[in-house]
Chain A
């Protein structure tokens, strides 16, 4: 579990975090979003223990992160936005270095290295020097390192940013499998579809503070505008609009010439009821499409983009 209370952080005279509060529940995947410069990387760096902070409190699994203390290193795993390695080493050697830091035997290290390299899809590149790795391969190696010591908490800063679609899918599967093992994951990303696919809860950071936090479904329901887009043969008349307004799942209707934009709860579930209502229209409908709730809208609204 991760708890942040009233966190303040300044760089020189610029305050980046202005009293941030957030909570990540044990075993969940928490998506952390915000526009560039909002303070996401700063927050993760503070939680990872590599950046100091000016005021506030941070806890990881009930252990307080104190300025200058080293006690919490080894508790969480961390993947920075651009992980840096010793380029003269191979991927296998770099993981072996981690094994040595942890005091593992040679056999344990070899086993753990092979397991992790297979998991992140780098087993064929294990003997290649890291300087020859692509950005995506470095990201995968970074993920392997962050998981090396089997941490119960994982902090990931833009884990999918350098990955191709296949790599992103692999990343999603890895994170879901870690969640099943009880790992608490906090990830920041600009790829909102990844958040929608895997996150349980979301926090939107804006101007150094939490602007919005909650369960993904609740946020999408309350802040996004899922519904329907209906194109009619002619502009709808009031009688037709009344038919739509009486539907219990309809929140709001707006008309733009021949287009009806309907905000509705669970549009996929209620599509048949909508079709039934449209069949009573005086004006014919040319096409109907479901507008899915997405974080894009929430992000633009809440993060003040």
Chain B
């Protein structure tokens, strides 16, 4: 327990001083604000490019839900990259730079080391994800006042689902970092695993709710259903397993 508490404090300080939180805040809020603006001005751009044709005639609609869907897409495609690249050094750096040696000698337990990281970044990323979605909801509501087809509750639930996805990414960064001891490789493997995960629901559509990617599908629809709860539980079980494997790996590896 001492190791956990000690490293919870250490990770809290590090998240601020290493500017990781600023990067998350800026990236998440940037897309939260920019995506609604893009959807707002896109019809005008399309009209000017297509000789005043009505964008709605080919399926494009400038509404709050399209703004939030765009934000959800950016969450998965772009902000996953931000998260993976920002957190890729969580364990890899500590092992490569040997900063783990002295604390280990004094008595640091690897379980406290890993669990503190997953908890701190789960809390921070979840908070920022929820704030991002709320900002996007409010701003797109202002930009598209007559088209509110998304409820605040559903937006909040979608943000929670995305939070689970980012917790999963964090656990992947931690695991790949502890195996590869290389920041960049850990980041790349995390992204490859996350994006490749989109294939499984396509290959096994009957079982799609049992894969982590279903969280993204469900969140992006802004109508989460009961099946998304199954996907959340499976994902959180996977996160716990990834943490156990990471702890086991670090206990056995040479520093």
Bound-state Cα–Cα, A80 to B104, Å:
12
15 additional A-B pairs beyond A49-B105, A78-B101, beta carbons within 8 Å, are: A48-B105, A49-B104, A50-B101, A73-B108, A80-B102, A83-B101, A84-B101, A84-B102, A97-B103, A100-B2, A101-B108, A102-B107, A103-B1, A103-B2, A142-B102
30 intermolecular pairs with C-beta atoms under 8 Å apart: A48-B105, A49-B104, A50-B105, A50-B254, A51-B255, A52-B254, A68-B251, A68-B252, A73-B104, A74-B105, A74-B106, A76-B105, A78-B102, A78-B105, A80-B101, A83-B102, A84-B99, A85-B102, A89-B13, A97-B9, A98-B103, A100-B2, A100-B6, A100-B9, A101-B3, A101-B108, A102-B2, A103-B1, A142-B102, A145-B102
Measured in the bound complex, the distance between the Cα atoms of B104 and A77 in whole Å is 10
Contact A101-B255, Cβ < 8 Å, known A50-B101, A84-B101, A88-B18: no
CB distance from A108 to the nearest CB of B (A): 13
Q: Separation in Å of the A71 CB from the closest CB of chain B? A: 11
Cα of A201 to Cα of B168 in the assembled complex, Å: 54
Within 199-251 of B, Cβ neighbours of A (below 8 Å) are at: 251
Which residues of the partner chain A approach B13 to less than 8 Å between Cβ atoms?
88-89, 93
- Complex Cα distance, B102 from A101, in Å, reads 11
Say which residue of B97, B103, B252, B254 sits within 8 Å of A51 (CB atoms). B254
Flag whether A279 is at the interface (Cβ < 8 A): no
Q: How far is it, in angstroms, between the C-alpha of A145 and the C-alpha of B101 when the chains are bound?
A: 11
Question: Cβ of B254: which chain A residues have Cβ within 8 Å of it?
Answer: 50-52
Which of B97, B98, B106 makes the CB contact (< 8 A) with A102?
A: B106
Contact pattern, B 1-32, Cβ under 8 Å of A = 1, otherwise 0: 11101100110011001100000000000000
B73 located at the interface, meaning its Cβ lies under 8 Å from any Cβ of chain A in the complex: no
A18 close to B (CB within 8 Å): no
| Contacting pair B10 A73 (CB below 8 A) | no
The reply to whether A85 and B99 contact each other, CB–CB distance below 8 Å, is: yes
Nearest B residue to A142 via CB reads B102
Chain A to chain B: the 8 pairs with minimum beta-carbon distance, closest first: A100-B6, A74-B107, A103-B2, A88-B17, A50-B255, A84-B98, A101-B6, A78-B105
Residue of A nearest to B252 (CB): A68
A70 at the interface (CB under 8 A from B): yes
**How distant is B21 from chain A, measured CB to nearest CB, in Å?**
13
Interface of A is mostly: loop
A84-B97, A101-B6 in contact; A50/B104 too (CB < 8 A)?
yes
Measured in the bound complex, the distance between the Cα atoms of B14 and A98 in whole Å is 16
Q: Which A residues lie within 8 Å of B2 (CB)?
A: 100-103
Contact A98:B106 (CB < 8 A) given known A50-B101, A85-B99: yes
Q: Are A148 and B106 in contact (CB under 8 A)?
A: yes
Q: Which residues of B sit under 8 angstroms from A160, Cβ to Cβ?
A: none
Q: Residues of A contacting B110 with CB < 8 Å?
A: 70
B83-124 near A? 1/0 per residue, CB < 8 Å: 000000000000001110111111111100000000000000
Interface residues of A, count at CB 8 A: 32
Q: CB-nearest residue of chain B relative to A69?
A: B251
Chain A residue numbers with a CB within 8 Å of B101 are 50, 78, 80, 83-84
Output the residue of A50, A51, A146 with the most chain B CB within 10 A. Answer: A50
- Interface-centre pick from B9, B14, B106 (highest chain A CB count, 10 A): B106
CA distance A101 to B105 in the complex (A): 11
In-complex Cβ contact of A86 among B6, B14, B251 (8 A): B14
Q: Nearest Cβ distance between residue A42 and chain B, in whole angstroms?
A: 11
Cβ distance A220 to chain B, nearest Cβ, rounded Å: 33
Residues of B contacting A148 with CB < 8 Å? Answer: 106
A149 within 8 A of partner (CB): yes
Output the nearest chain B residue to A46 by Cβ-Cβ distance.
B254
Cβ contacts under 8 Å, A149 to chain B:
106-107
Complex: how many Å from CA A65 to CA B98? 21
Within 8 A of B (CB), among A37-94: 48-52, 68, 70, 73-74, 76-78, 80, 82-86, 88-89, 93
Alpha-carbon gap, A148 to B110, bound state (A): 20
Q: With CB as the reference atom, state the residue of chain B lying closest to A148.
A: B106
How long is the Cα–Cα vector from A68 to B110 in the complex, in angstroms?
12
Shortest Cβ distance from B113 into A: residue = A101
Which A residue's beta carbon lies closest to that of B98? A84
Report the bound CA distance from A78 to B5 in whole Å: 23
A199 vs chain B, min Cβ distance (A): 23
How far, in Å, is B15 (CB) from chain A's closest CB? 11
Known A-B contacts A68-B251, A100-B5; A86 and B10 likewise in contact (beta carbons under 8 Å): yes
Report A-chain residues with C-beta under 8 Å of the C-beta of B109: 70
Nearest A residue to B1, CB-CB: A103
Least CB distance, B142 to chain A, in whole angstroms: 39
Interface string of B43-81 (1 = CB under 8 A from A): 000000000000000000000000000000000000000
Proximity string of chain B (147-167) to chain A, C-beta cutoff 8 Å, 1 when within and 0 when not:
000000000000000000000
- Decide: A146 and B105 in contact? CB cutoff 8 A: yes
Contacts of B108 in A (CB 8 A): 73, 101
Nearest residue, chain A, Cβ from B6: A100
Q: Give the Cβ gap from B216 to chain A, nearest Cβ, in Å.
A: 34
Tell me the bound Cα distance from A300 to B13 in angstroms: 50
Q: Which of A82, A84, A101 contacts B106 (CB 8 A)?
A: A101
